[in-house]
């Protein structure tokens, strides 16, 4: 019985530790994204290259932007994320990213484009 209680205690501590680590990783990733956005957009999060869209217009613009790809779900996910941050979606189905500096300059950790 005592061995069972010790095992349960160890298991509970392990689960608690894992959840704390996951929480810390999420906080770190969010902070890194925010820092990168601030760097791309200019000082203090002011969006120098921000577009004229309202966030309510993002779904419609991203549906247009992602309509020709085979990978609709990931395209829509990242397009919406970028549109809400930059308030801009480039014209056309591909390319034209120079129209939206924030959208164009937001990169992944590996340096690749974050926005489709």
Residue 23 is predicted with a pLDDT of: 65
Is residue 82 within 8 Å of residue 73, measured between CB atoms?
no
Rounded to whole angstroms, what are the CA distances from 95 to 2, 8, 10, 57, 65?
Answer: 65, 55, 53, 20, 10
Q: Where residue 103 falls among pLDDT bands split at 50, 70, 90?
A: confident
Alpha helices in 46-71 (DSSP H): 58-65
Among 107, 101, 71, residue whose Cα is nearest residue 88? 101
How does the average pLDDT of the chain come out, rounded? 79
Q: Identify which has the larger pLDDT, 26 or 56.
A: 56
């Amino acid at each position: 019985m005592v061995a069972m209680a010790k095992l349960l205690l160890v298991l509970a501590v392990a689960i608690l530790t894992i959840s704390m680590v996951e929480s810390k990783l999420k906080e770190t990733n969010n902070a890194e994204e925010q820092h990168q956005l601030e760097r791309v957009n200019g000082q203090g999060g002011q969006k120098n290259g921000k577009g004229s869209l309202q966030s309510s217009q993002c779904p419609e613009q991203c549906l247009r932007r992602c309509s020709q790809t085979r990978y609709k779900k990931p395209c829509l996910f990242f397009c919406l994320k970028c549109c809400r941050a930059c308030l801009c979606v480039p014209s056309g189905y591909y390319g034209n990213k120079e129209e939206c500096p924030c959208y164009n300059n937001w990169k992944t950790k590996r340096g690749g484009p974050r926005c489709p």
